[in-house]
C-alpha cells in the first residue's frame, strides 16, 4: 500500500533548521499523544476509530441506506466543523458534478444566514423526495437552528407523521436543545463524542453519516483512519510526515511567513481546503499567534493570483496538494490545421499536462523564493482521504502545542456569538 508523501525540498529549509526545532516538535507530539497538553480531554479523535461501537457503526450504515433508498436528495444542515468535512469528502470522492450524475443529490443549509439562499433551495427541493441530516452539538447555533426550523416545518407539512423517519440528528449525548427536541420528536439520533471538537469531528458520525448517505464506502474510510493512526502516531521525527510538516510550518513562520496557501490542482478538492482552513485557523489563530490559512486552485488561480504569489510581499508559503492518479482523463486531440499551435502536445493527457503545470509552477516559485511544501496522495478515494484528514489533524495538534496555544478551543468564535445574540435582543447570553 502506497503512503501519502511529504516533500519539503522546495521549502528552503535545511537539515540544521530541522535539527534545531526537533526537540520542540517532539515535546509537542508527546503532549498530544500522552494527553498531557492543555484541553487534553478533547483529543478523543486520536483513537476514535478504535473506540466506535459496532452497534453504533451499523446503525449509521442502516440510516444511510434508508436515506439512499427513500430520497432523491438530502439536505445537510450544519456549519463549520458540522458540515465542512463531510462536504469535502463527498466532493473529493464523488467528483465535481456528483449531483448531476448520481443520486441522492446533496444540498447544504444552516451554514449561512441568507434568506435568499434558503428560499432558492426550498424551491429546488420542494418536489423531490427528501431527507434531512441536522448536525449541531448544542442545537442552538443560530445559522443551523434557524434553517432547521424552516426545513422541519417543510418536512412536517410534506410528510406528516412520516417526517420523523426522514430526519436524522447528530448531536450531544445528553444535553442541548437539539437532543431534547430529538427525544421529544423521536428522530434517529447519533452522538457527537464529548471528547472531540467540531473541526476534528469528521471521523465521527458528523462525517460518517452524510458520507455514507452520499454513497461513500465508510468501511474503506475507517481502514484509512486505522492505517493513519498506525503511521502518524510514530515518535520518529525523520520518518513521521506529520512531525516534519509541523516543523516546516513553524520554521517558515519564524521567518515571517505569515500566510500558508493550500494549493489544489483538482477542482474537486476545493472543499478540502475549506475544511483545512477551519482546522488550522481555529486551532492556531489565538493569542496573537498562528499562520493565516488561505487556498488557491491552480492552474485557474495562477491567472488571477499567480503574479502576487510570485512577486508580491514575501509573507507566504505554499503547501501543494497533488493527486498522483486522479482517475478519469482525456487526451489532447490532433488538429490537422493546428490553428492554436498545440499539436506538439497532441496525444498527451490532460492529467499529464496538469502535472507539468505543477512542476513549472514549483520551479517558478522556487526562483521567486516562495517556499513550497508538497503533499502527494496516490489517489483520492475513501482510504487516502481518511489518511489525509488524520494527517492534517495530527499535524495541527502538534503545531498548536509547538506555538504554545490551545489547539482545541475557539474563544474568538464564542465572542462573535455573544455579540450577535446581544444585538438580536437575546435576553440572557
DSSP state of 75: E
- Long-range contacts made by residues 94-97, C-beta under 8 angstroms, separation at least 24? 94/214, 94/215, 94/216, 95/268, 96/267, 96/268
Q: Out of 128, 164, 366, 417, which one is annotated catalytic?
A: 417
Whose cell is 484541553? That residue is 39
- The 3-state DSSP class for residue 274 equals helix
The answer to whether 360 and 298 are in contact (CB under 8 A) is no
Please give the backbone phi and psi of residue 385, each rounded to the nearest 5 degrees, phi first.
-65, -45
Whose cell is 465521527? That residue is 204
The radius of gyration computed from the CA coordinates of the chain, to the nearest angstrom, equals 23
HSE value, Cβ hemisphere, 13 Å, CA-based, for 107: 23
Look up 282 and say whether it is catalytic. yes
Give the relative orientation of helices 241-253 and 15-33 as an angle to the nearest 10 degrees.
120
The residues, ordered by sequence, that sit 6+ positions from 62 with a Cβ below 8 Å of its Cβ are: none
The residues, ordered by sequence, that sit 6+ positions from 149 with a Cβ below 8 Å of its Cβ are: none
Q: Out of 123, 160, 303, 341, which one is annotated catalytic?
A: 303
Look up 341 and say whether it is catalytic. no
Look up 98 and say whether it is catalytic. no
- The 3-state DSSP class for residue 168 equals strand
Cell of 121: 433551495
Q: Out of 143, 260, 266, 282, which one is annotated catalytic?
A: 282
Active site (catalytic) residues: 282, 303, 417
Amino acid at each position: 500500500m502506497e503512503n501519502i508523501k511529504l516533500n519539503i525540498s522546495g521549502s528552503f529549509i535545511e537539515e540544521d533548521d530541522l535539527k534545531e526545532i526537533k526537540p520542540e516538535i517532539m515535546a509537542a507530539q508527546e503532549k498530544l499523544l500522552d494527553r498531557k497538553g492543555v484541553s487534553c480531554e478533547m483529543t478523543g479523535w486520536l483513537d476514535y476509530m478504535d473506540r466506535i461501537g459496532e452497534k453504533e457503526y451499523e446503525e449509521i450504515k442502516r440510516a444511510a441506506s434508508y436515506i439512499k433508498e427513500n430520497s432523491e436528495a438530502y439536505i445537510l444542515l450544519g456549519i463549520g466543523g458540522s458540515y465542512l468535512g463531510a462536504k469535502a469528502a463527498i466532493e473529493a470522492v464523488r467528483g465535481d458534478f456528483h449531483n448531476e450524475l448520481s443520486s441522492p443529490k446533496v444540498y447544504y443549509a444552516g451554514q449561512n444566514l441568507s434568506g435568499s439562499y434558503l428560499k432558492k433551495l426550498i424551491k429546488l427541493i420542494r418536489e423531490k423526495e427528501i431527507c434531512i441530516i441536522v448536525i449541531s452539538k448544542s442545537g442552538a447555533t443560530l445559522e443551523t437552528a434557524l434553517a432547521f426550523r424552516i426545513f422541519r416545518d417543510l418536512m412536517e407539512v410534506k410528510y406528516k407523521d412520516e417526517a420523523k423517519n426522514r430526519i436524522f440528528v447528530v448531536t450531544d449525548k445528553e444535553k442541548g436543545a437539539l437532543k431534547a427536541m430529538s427525544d421529544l420528536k423521536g428522530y434517529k439520533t447519533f452522538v457527537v463524542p464529548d471528547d472531540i471538537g467540531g473541526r476534528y469531528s469528521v471521523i465521527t458520525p458528523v462525517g460518517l453519516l452524510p458520507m455514507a448517505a452520499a454513497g461513500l464506502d465508510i468501511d474503506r474510510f475507517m481502514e484509512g483512519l486505522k492505517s493513519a493512526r498506525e503511521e502518524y502516531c510514530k515518535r520518529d521525527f525523520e520518518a513521521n510526515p506529520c512531525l516534519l510538516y509541523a516543523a516546516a510550518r513553524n520554521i517558515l513562520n519564524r521567518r515571517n511567513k505569515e500566510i500558508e496557501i493550500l494549493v489544489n490542482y483538482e477542482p474537486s478538492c476545493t472543499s478540502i481546503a475549506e475544511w483545512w482552513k477551519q482546522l488550522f485557523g481555529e486551532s492556531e489563530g489565538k493569542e496573537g499567534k498562528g499562520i493565516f490559512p488561505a487556498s488557491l486552485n491552480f492552474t485557474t488561480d495562477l491567472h488571477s493570483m499567480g503574479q502576487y504569489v510570485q512577486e508580491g510581499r514575501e509573507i507566504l508559503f505554499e503547501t501543494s496538494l497533488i493527486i498522483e492518479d486522479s482517475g478519469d482523463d482525456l487526451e489532447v486531440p490532433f488538429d490537422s490545421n493546428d490553428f492554436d499551435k498545440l499539436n506538439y502536445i497532441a496525444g498527451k493527457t490532460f492529467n499529464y499536462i496538469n502535472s507539468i503545470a505543477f512542476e513549472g509552477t514549483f520551479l517558478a516559485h522556487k526562483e521567486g523564493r516562495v517556499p513550497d511544501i508538497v503533499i502527494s496522495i496516490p489517489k483520492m478515494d475513501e482510504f487516502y482521504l481518511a489518511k489525509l484528514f488524520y494527517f492534517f489533524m495530527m499535524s495541527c495538534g502538534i503545531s498548536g502545542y509547538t506555538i504554545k496555544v490551545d489547539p482545541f478551543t475557539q474563544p474568538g468564535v464564542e465572542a462573535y456569538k455573544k455579540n450577535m445574540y446581544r444585538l438580536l435582543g437575546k435576553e440572557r447570553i
